Structure 1
Amino acid sequence: MRNNNTIQLSKEKKEEMISSIKNYFLEERGEELGDLASSLILRFIIEELALEFYNQGVYDSYKYMNDRIEDLLSIQKY
């Protein structure tokens, strides 16, 4: 059963992210991670952290749209 709150990724995007994790650990920490370790890190990020980033994006979009709507009211003619 899938959790509806979990962010779903395409196979291609998941592979790209796993590759990015592997590259990061190699370049920044000098550690070579395998596919399994990188997959587990990605899964942790998705399950534990991603919803916070998603929710922040929703909030930022809401604030941006509200600011634009207020700008729209400024062009009213009296």
Structure 2
Amino acid sequence: MTDMTFNQDQKARMVSKIKRYFEDELQQEIGGFEAEFLIDFFAKEIGPHFYNRGLSDAQQVLTEKMEEVGYVMAELEKPEV
């Protein structure tokens, strides 16, 4: 897995959400610079856990869909004479 990077718009939206969370839930103001450090920390230290969970979930869905395809393929079989 490569390092997670975000474009400026994505990062700006995340910074806004972190700042709002700190204000609403913790009654603390946090600057944009500090919020960006939090994003970088979470991306590096916690991001891989979410990434791996996403891969696991995607693999499970793909496995289920492939089983469905197998059943559909079996239904298409013609009886041999």
Query: With structure 2 as the length reference, what TM-score do the two structures score?
Result: 0.84
Aligned AA (1:28): E
- The match for 2:47 among 50, 61, 66 is 50
Q: C-alpha root-mean-square deviation of aligned residues, in Å? A: 1.3
Identity %: 24
| Rg comparison, structure with higher value | 2
Q: Report deviation, 1:5.
A: 2.2
Matched length: 75
Choose between structure 1 and 2: higher helix proportion: 2
Bigger relative CO (Cα 8 Å, ≥ 6 apart): 1
1:22 aligns with 2:19: yes
Query: With structure 1 as the length reference, what TM-score do the two structures score?
Result: 0.87
The ranges of structure 1 where at least 4 consecutive aligned residues each deviate by more than 4 angstroms after the TM superposition are none
Q: Specify every segment of 5 or more residues in structure 1 that has no aligned partner in the other structure, as ranges.
A: none
